[in-house]
């Protein structure tokens, strides 16, 4: 106890004084188990206290975004970063490979392998500064409103292939108002609701002009520093370091194989969506056998297509208005969360603690302060867990409440684990578990069971139009997101390994390959379209969403089997199944003490330790059969690419700035595409 307190006092003194550069741990190849246990005991308490201080500071800023609260939050985050690096230096002084105790070895490994502390103090500070610049540019980006002058396209100016597309000076010709539209909620809502091609094009281009080119050079510095850090942590590059958290030496091939099995279903959905878009916008915008323009899919990044279901499915919905029914039955934000709590207690899990109801923010404050994005919070003291959600009485927020409360249940279940194990075994597990629960509570079977849906939904018949509409909505949400996350991460892994040369063309090559999506305007070398996505410029893992989508159906299927469900998988509801709750609790309690493969084996009761898309395909099988009927007259299932599609992001010019001859252009283009594929494949096979 005395040693622990002494370590604490020294640590805090160092942190407060900022003299971290004077503190060095010497690598001694120490395999003393007693010293390792003592270090981890000290770390466990200090890390939890540090986490609590950071969480409190972030909560205050999130619920009251003053400049003072922002400064206090940054101070605590900086202290946490310094603590992380001090702990890393201490952890690397142990030779964990010679420590017999597997739990001690695993905990040391979780400290040593991740993070960027191997850079040293100066470069670590520079990396943090670079990331702050990237995030500040993104968060402060604002664009001008679309204005119709004469015709819809007047604002956009004249397209210039030499300039790579429309320039920002063309956006609002003649407009004198304020250019103050931010990505959330303004542009997000506009991309979801507008059905004007020229308006959508305007916002799509404007957002990328503001977020990409200004930080392109800064991002390249980030790539260099991240790779240097990865090398210091024993990895070939930062992409390999990011993949290492999945504890799968063949992870690249694993995700490739999984997507290969899902792709036929995705192509059926893609073809049905294209038919609706052609019907709405006409063949002058979209070829009947071609890829889809990225700005017409209801989302700034074309990662989620559910907001264009009114275009995709022309007939009026047969599913009743669940949100309206909730209003009629007197649901409130509090009642929504009470209903979510009752779901978990019905399967044998714990109710929410009094601190949860006292401290959570479950509806938008009257003063309008704070951020409204839904989130679940663990204050790292084993008792204080909260949700922040500006809840509306709607089906989306009903399922969202269950999603966030699943995170809280996970926090509560693994709270007794050492601090390093108080998370999922990889970044996908939290989302996978939360989404598995929403598959149960958001389906027609559960909504009927709790009195929010009166349409006929039977276990034996999963092919009613109510079921098809539910599956279609879910597929528009899940499947494009899988393709997008795979393309994004493949791109990032590539630029980490091969460098930033031609990275914008590579971005669109992968988007076309996996998603069948092309830019609405020409994109040149000066653009940086990946920078329009926050997770790219903020150094956040994204393949976790792909893995979480696969894993959630795997978890859901196992829980349904435990609940003794019979019939189509998508009609399963685990409500009131104590056996399903027992399995869920067994998995949650482990936290990160087991690897993901070990947890999957526990979940499946020994049947497999690998990810599988079979449950996902089984879930969507009725929809796939329906889509095949809808697409029977289509000339191609999926998409075919032409030279014009590829030329949007692979511009080739002649000596005088004009397009090269068709013959030469064709040869060079095909050769470039072939060589690009060879390089890409070699990069990941080496």
d(C-alpha 316, C-alpha 320), whole Å:
11
User: Does a structural domain hold residue 579?
Assistant: no
| Cβ atoms 491, 510 nearer than 8 A | yes
At 675 the pLDDT is: 38
User: Does a structural domain hold residue 252?
Assistant: no
Ligand-binding annotation for 246, yes or no, is yes
Residue 331: cis peptide before it, omega within 30 degrees of 0: no
Summarize pLDDT for 553-581 with one digit per residue, the tens: 999 999 999 999 999 999 999 999 999 99
Q: What six digits make up the tokens of 394? A: 């709607």
Give the number of C-alpha atoms closer than 13 A to the C-alpha of residue 373, restricted to the C-beta side: 8
User: Does a structural domain hold residue 91?
Assistant: yes
The enclosing H or E element of 217 equals helix 216-232
Q: What is the DSSP letter of 608?
A: -
At 369 the pLDDT is: 63
- Say if residue 197 is exposed, middle or buried (CB neighbours under 10 Å; 0-12, 13-18, 19+): buried
Ligand-binding annotation for 325, yes or no, is no
Q: What six digits make up the tokens of 222? A: 């980030």
The enclosing H or E element of 508 equals helix 503-515
At 149 the pLDDT is: 58
- Name every residue whose Cβ is closer than 8 Å to that of residue 100 and which is 6 or more positions away in sequence: 33
| Cβ atoms 59, 361 nearer than 8 A | no
Residue 321: cis peptide before it, omega within 30 degrees of 0: no
Residue 519: cis peptide before it, omega within 30 degrees of 0: no
> Residue 162's Cα: distance from chain center in Å?
34
At 318 the pLDDT is: 81
The enclosing H or E element of 324 equals helix 322-328
User: Does a structural domain hold residue 97?
Assistant: yes
Q: What six digits make up the tokens of 302? A: 């074309």
Q: What six digits make up the tokens of 248? A: 């799968």
Host domain of residue 97: 31-114
Residues labelled as active-site residues = 404, 535
d(C-alpha 256, C-alpha 207), whole Å:
31
At 652 the pLDDT is: 61
| Cβ atoms 524, 164 nearer than 8 A | yes
User: Does a structural domain hold residue 411?
Assistant: no
At 147 the pLDDT is: 83
User: Does a structural domain hold residue 133?
Assistant: no
Ligand-binding annotation for 431, yes or no, is yes
Nearest of 157, 39, 42 to residue 104 by alpha carbon: 39
| Domain tally, the chain | 1
The three-state secondary structure class of 565 is: coil
Ligand-binding annotation for 430, yes or no, is no
| Cβ atoms 459, 571 nearer than 8 A | yes
Point out the residues of the chain with pLDDT beneath 50: 1-28, 151-176, 459-460, 653-686
User: Does a structural domain hold residue 571?
Assistant: no
Summarize pLDDT for 310-325 with one digit per residue, the tens: 999 888 888 889 999 9
User: Does a structural domain hold residue 43?
Assistant: yes
At 670 the pLDDT is: 45
Pairing status of strand 385-388 against strand 375-378: antiparallel
- Name every residue whose Cβ is closer than 8 Å to that of residue 406 and which is 6 or more positions away in sequence: 433, 434, 436, 437, 438
């Amino acid at each position: 106890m005395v040693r622990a307190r002494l370590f604490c006092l020294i640590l805090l003194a160092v942190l407060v004084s900022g003299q971290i550069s004077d503190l060095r741990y010497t690598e001694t190849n120490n395999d003393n188990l007693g010293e390792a246990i003592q270090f981890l005991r000290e770390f466990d308490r200090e890390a939890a206290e540090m986490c609590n201080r950071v969480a409190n500071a972030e909560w205050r800023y999130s619920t009251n975004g003053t400049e003072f609260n922002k400064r206090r939050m940054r101070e605590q985050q900086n202290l946490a970063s310094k603590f992380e690096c001090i702990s890393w230096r201490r952890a690397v002084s142990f030779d964990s490979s010679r420590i017999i105790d597997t739990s001690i070895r695993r905990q040391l490994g979780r400290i040593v392998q991740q993070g960027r502390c191997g850079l040293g103090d100066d470069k670590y500070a520079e990396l943090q500064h670079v990331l702050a610049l990237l995030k500040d540019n993104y968060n402060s980006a604002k664009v001008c409103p679309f204005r119709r002058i004469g015709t819809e396209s007047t604002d956009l100016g004249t397209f210039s292939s030499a300039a790579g597309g429309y320039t920002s000076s063309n956006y609002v010709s003649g407009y004198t108002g304020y250019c103050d539209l931010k990505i959330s909620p303004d542009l997000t809502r506009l991309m979801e609701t507008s059905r004007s091609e020229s308006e959508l094009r305007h916002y799509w281009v404007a957002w990328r002009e503001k977020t990409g080119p200004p930080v392109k050079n800064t991002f390249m510095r980030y790539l260099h520093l991240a790779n240097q850090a990865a090398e210091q942590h024993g990895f070939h590059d930062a992409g390999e370091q990011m993949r290492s958290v999945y504890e799968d030496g063949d992870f690249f091939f694993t995700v490739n194989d999984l997507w290969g099995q899902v792709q036929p279903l995705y192509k059926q959905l893609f073809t049905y969506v294209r038919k609706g878009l052609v019907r709405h916008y006409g063949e002058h915008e979209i070829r009947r056998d071609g890829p889809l323009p990225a700005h017409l899919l209801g989302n700034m990044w074309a990662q989620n297509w559910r907001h264009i279901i009114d275009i995709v499915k022309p007939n009026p919905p047969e599913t009743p208005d669940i949100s309206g029914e909730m209003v009629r039955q007197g649901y409130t934000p509090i009642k929504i969360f009470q209903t979510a709590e009752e779901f978990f207690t019905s399967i044998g899990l714990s109710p929410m603690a009094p601190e949860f109801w006292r401290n959570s923010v479950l509806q938008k404050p009257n003063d309008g302060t704070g951020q409204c994005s839904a989130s679940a919070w663990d204050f790292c003291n084993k008792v204080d867990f909260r949700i922040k959600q500006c809840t509306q009485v709607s089906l989306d927020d009903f399922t969202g409440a269950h999603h966030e409360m699943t995170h809280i249940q996970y926090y509560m279940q693994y709270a007794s684990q050492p601090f390093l194990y108080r998370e999922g075994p990889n970044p996908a597990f939290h989302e996978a578990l939360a989404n598995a629960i929403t598959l149960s509570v958001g389906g027609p079977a559960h909504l009927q069971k709790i009195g929010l849906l009166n349409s006929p939904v039977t276990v034996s018949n999963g092919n009613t139009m109510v079921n098809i509409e539910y599956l279609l909505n879910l597929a528009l949400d899940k499947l494009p997101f899988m393709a997008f996350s795979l393309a994004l991460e493949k791109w990032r892994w590539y630029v980490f390994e091969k460098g930033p040369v031609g990275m914008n063309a590579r971005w669109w090559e992968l988007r076309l390959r996996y998603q069948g999506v092309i830019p609405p305007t020409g994109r040149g070398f000066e653009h940086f379209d990946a920078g329009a996505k926050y997770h790219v410029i903020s150094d956040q893992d994204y393949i976790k969403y792909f893995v979480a989508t696969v894993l959630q159906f795997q978890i859901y299927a196992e829980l349904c089997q435990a609940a003794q469900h019979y019939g189509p998988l998508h009609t399963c509801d685990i409500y009131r199944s104590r056996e399903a709750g027992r399995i869920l609790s067994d998995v949650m309690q482990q936290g990160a003490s087991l690897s993901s493969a070990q947890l999957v084996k526990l979940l499946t009761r020994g049947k497999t330790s690998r990810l599988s898309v079979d449950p996902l395909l089984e879930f969507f099988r009725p929809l796939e059969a329906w889509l095949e009927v809808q697409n029977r007259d289509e000339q191609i299932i999926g998409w075919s690419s032409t030279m014009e599609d590829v030329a949007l992001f692979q511009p080739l010019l002649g000596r005088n700035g004009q397009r090269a001859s068709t013959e030469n252009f064709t040869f060079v283009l095909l050769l470039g595409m072939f060589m690009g594929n060879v390089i890409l494949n070699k990069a990941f096979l080496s």
